[in-house]
């Protein structure tokens, strides 16, 4: 019996689903955390977001046709929910420092500009330029039309360009 | 597509890639998910089936009894441990809420600095009735007056390991920052961590300390904690404690509350002080006023000062108000003091 199957048996869960889910989890977890990190700017939040998304997927894993697309959408949505809550909390405690990666000055400025973008614009930028997702995939993840994705991307680039030349 | 936008897109790909690459992700362990959700039913039908199974049978009753027994044993163990701890350290050992204590330490950098021997000065904790509080806990026969006084201030107990002393530059005085655990509500046994301050030294007329309920963390974050006293030179000397992130404080303009002498709020200049170890020191002098009909001397004028907190880059962190007593010297017809 494989390790994942053994986990399923030990935990009293359906072995077939656990094997499939365990493989999916191992394959997608790291990339999902990186995506959530780029969207939230917080490592702890990224891990929480991905755990919540994975928990949601696990419950209905056998019924989901494309779990990777489902995971992308769940991560994007949960990161937005976290951001709303975090903003409320930040209003109360305004001096919390976010984690900052080590980058060249110009790159750090660009990253800060990306982090200042409205959430949906930031999600489009991250999905397109880091994830390499197609417009259809981004539209599915954000729950909008392809035209909206194009418009969000265009506005985001305009804004980044404007901040870079300021 | 222009060259500029192509460059930006390339830069975005590189920066986001580098950023994501810098995150050290812990290895995925699906057992975390499996263990957290394996007991959650998948469908409505399963949910209903689970509800039906929740009729308390013999197994359920045994489980509940076992859980109750575990809770009782745990509570007893915690109570015994707490008692043993307080017996081994009679002077310290405040009953405190760890979370609010940690939050207070996180908010005030001065509490994270090492403690100096000056923090053992007994005058720092006298104003918070630490000894009387300890006495009240050990003995039943406490005079009613002390009981009422202690209860009115939330039965405060000094958190001695967190006491810090901050010198106030230019005032020949020092500020004792005294965290205490107290009961925010008289009917509740829950304890929270708050703050008292004491003002000591030759730069002020006698030692003074905060009174009433300790200042809570939320109040400290929104208003700070101020203490002022008369200075021998006839001014008002004091300090304001603020949370981390504030580097400068401006006091003023002022509003005077029913001044007993003819002084105008516009006569009092705004004062600015740098924050050192979460504390800003102020020495506010008011010009002498003349009134031949009143007696000469020093008068105390209650005032409310508009207070602005600044961050390192000069941005305003918060605007609030500070209540303080200003000392005004009046030149009149005869000596008052």
Convert the pLDDT of each residue in A36-76 to its tens digit.
988 988 888 888 888 888 888 887 888 888 888 999 999 99
Question: CB distance from A119 to chain B under 8 Å?
Answer: no
Residue with tokens 């999600």: A123
Question: CB distance from A18 to chain B under 8 Å?
Answer: yes
Contact at CB, B11 and A54, closer than 8 angstroms:
no
What pLDDT score was predicted for residue A24? 85
Q: How confident is the model at residue B134 (pLDDT cuts 50, 70, 90)?
A: low
Question: CB distance from A76 to chain B under 8 Å?
Answer: no
Q: What is the spatial distance between Cα B149 and Cα B224, in angstroms, rounded to a whole number?
A: 24
Q: How confident is the model at residue A4 (pLDDT cuts 50, 70, 90)?
A: very low
Contact at CB, B12 and A160, closer than 8 angstroms:
yes
Q: Do B255 and B304 touch, CB atoms closer than 8 A? A: yes
What pLDDT score was predicted for residue B82? 72
Question: CB distance from A1 to chain B under 8 Å?
Answer: no
- Pick the closest to residue B154 from B217, B72, B213 (CA basis): B213
* Cβ-based contacts under 8 A for chains A and B: 106
Contact at CB, A129 and B16, closer than 8 angstroms:
yes
What pLDDT score was predicted for residue A127? 94
**Is the confidence at residue A155, as pLDDT, over 90?**
yes
What pLDDT score was predicted for residue A76? 93
What pLDDT score was predicted for residue B136? 57
- Chosen for mutation from B25, B32, B313 (greatest number of chain A CBs closer than 10 Å) is B25
Average of pLDDT values for A66-88? 86
SS3 B46: helix
ipTM above 0.95 for this complex: no
Residue B167 CA neighbour count, 13 Å, CB half: 5
Contact at CB, B33 and A7, closer than 8 angstroms:
no
Q: Do B193 and B104 touch, CB atoms closer than 8 A? A: yes
Considering CB atoms only, which of B13, B23, B30 is closest to A129? Answer: B13
Q: What is the spatial distance between Cα B203 and Cα B52, in angstroms, rounded to a whole number?
A: 75
Show Cβ contacts of residue A110 under 8 Å, excluding neighbours closer than 6 positions.
A160, A164, B11, B12, B15
Residue with tokens 């990666």: A101
Residue B179 to residues A19, B110, B156, B285, Cα–Cα distance (Å): 54, 11, 9, 30
Convert the pLDDT of each residue in B35-84 to its tens digit.
555 444 445 555 554 445 555 677 778 888 999 999 999 999 888 887 76
Within 10 A of B223 (CB to CB), how many other CB atoms are there? 17
What pLDDT score was predicted for residue B140? 60
Calculate how close chain A gets to B245, using CA atoms only, in Å: 7
Residue B257 to residues B8, B181, B305, B326, Cα–Cα distance (Å): 60, 33, 11, 11
Average of pLDDT values for B247-264? 87
Calculate how close chain B gets to A124, using CA atoms only, in Å: 12
Question: CB distance from A142 to chain B under 8 Å?
Answer: no
What pLDDT score was predicted for residue B247? 93
What pLDDT score was predicted for residue B296? 82
Residue B337 to residues B82, B295, B330, Cα–Cα distance (Å): 53, 9, 11
Convert the pLDDT of each residue in B296-315 to its tens digit.
888 888 888 999 999 988 88
């Amino acid at each position: 019996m494989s390790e994942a199957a053994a986990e399923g048996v030990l935990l009293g869960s359906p072995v077939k689903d656990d094997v499939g889910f365990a493989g999916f989890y191992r394959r997608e977890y790291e990339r999902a955390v990186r995506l959530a990190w780029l969207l939230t700017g917080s490592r702890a939040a990224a891990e929480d977001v991905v755990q919540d998304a994975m928990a949601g997927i696990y419950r209905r894993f056998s019924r989901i046709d494309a779990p990777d697309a489902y995971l992308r959408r769940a991560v994007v949505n949960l990161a937005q929910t976290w951001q709303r809550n975090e903003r409320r909390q930040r209003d109360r405690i305004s001096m919390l420092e976010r984690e900052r990666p080590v980058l060249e000055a110009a790159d750090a400025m660009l990253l800060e500009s990306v982090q200042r973008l409205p959430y949906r614009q930031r999600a489009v930028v991250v999905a397109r330029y880091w994830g390499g997702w197609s417009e259809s995939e981004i539209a599915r993840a954000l729950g909008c039309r392809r035209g909206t994705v194009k418009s969000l991307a265009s506005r985001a680039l305009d804004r980044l360009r404007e901040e870079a030349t300021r | 597509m222009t060259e500029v936008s192509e460059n930006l897109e390339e830069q975005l790909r590189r920066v986001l890639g580098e950023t994501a690459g810098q995150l050290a992700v812990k290895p995925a362990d699906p057992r975390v998910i499996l263990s957290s959700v394996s007991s959650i039913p998948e469908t409505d039908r399963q949910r209903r089936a689970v509800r039906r199974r929740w009729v308390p049978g013999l197994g359920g009753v045994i489980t509940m009894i076992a859980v109750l027994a575990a809770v009782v044993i745990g509570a007893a163990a915690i109570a015994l441990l707490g008692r043993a701890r307080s017996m081994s350290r009679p002077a310290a050992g405040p009953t405190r809420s760890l979370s609010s204590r940690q939050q207070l330490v996180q908010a005030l950098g001065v509490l994270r600095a090492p403690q100096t021997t000056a923090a053992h000065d007994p005058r720092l904790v006298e104003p918070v009735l630490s000894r009387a509080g300890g006495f009240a806990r050990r003995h039943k026969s406490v005079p009613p007056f002390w009981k009422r006084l202690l209860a009115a201030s939330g039965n405060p107990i000094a958190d001695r390991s967190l006491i810090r002393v901050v010198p106030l530059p230019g005032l020949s005085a020092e500020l004792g920052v005294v965290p205490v655990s107290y009961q925010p509500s008289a009917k509740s046994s829950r304890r929270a961590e708050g703050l008292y301050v004491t003002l000591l030294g030759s730069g002020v007329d006698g030692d003074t300390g905060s009174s009433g309920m300790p200042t809570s963390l939320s109040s400290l974050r929104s208003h700070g904690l101020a203490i002022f006293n008369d200075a021998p030179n006839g001014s008002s000397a004091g300090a304001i404690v603020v949370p981390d992130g504030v580097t400068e404080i401006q006091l003023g303009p002022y509003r005077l509350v029913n001044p007993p002498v003819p002084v105008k709020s516009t006569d009092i200049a705004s004062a600015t002080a740098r924050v050192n170890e979460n504390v800003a020191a102020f020495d506010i002098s008011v010009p002498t006023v003349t009134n031949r009909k009143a007696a000469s001397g020093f008068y105390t004028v209650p005032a409310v000062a508009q207070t602005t907190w600044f961050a390192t880059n000069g941005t305003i962190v918060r605007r609030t108000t500070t209540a303080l007593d200003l000392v005004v010297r009046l030149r009149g017809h005869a000596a008052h003091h």
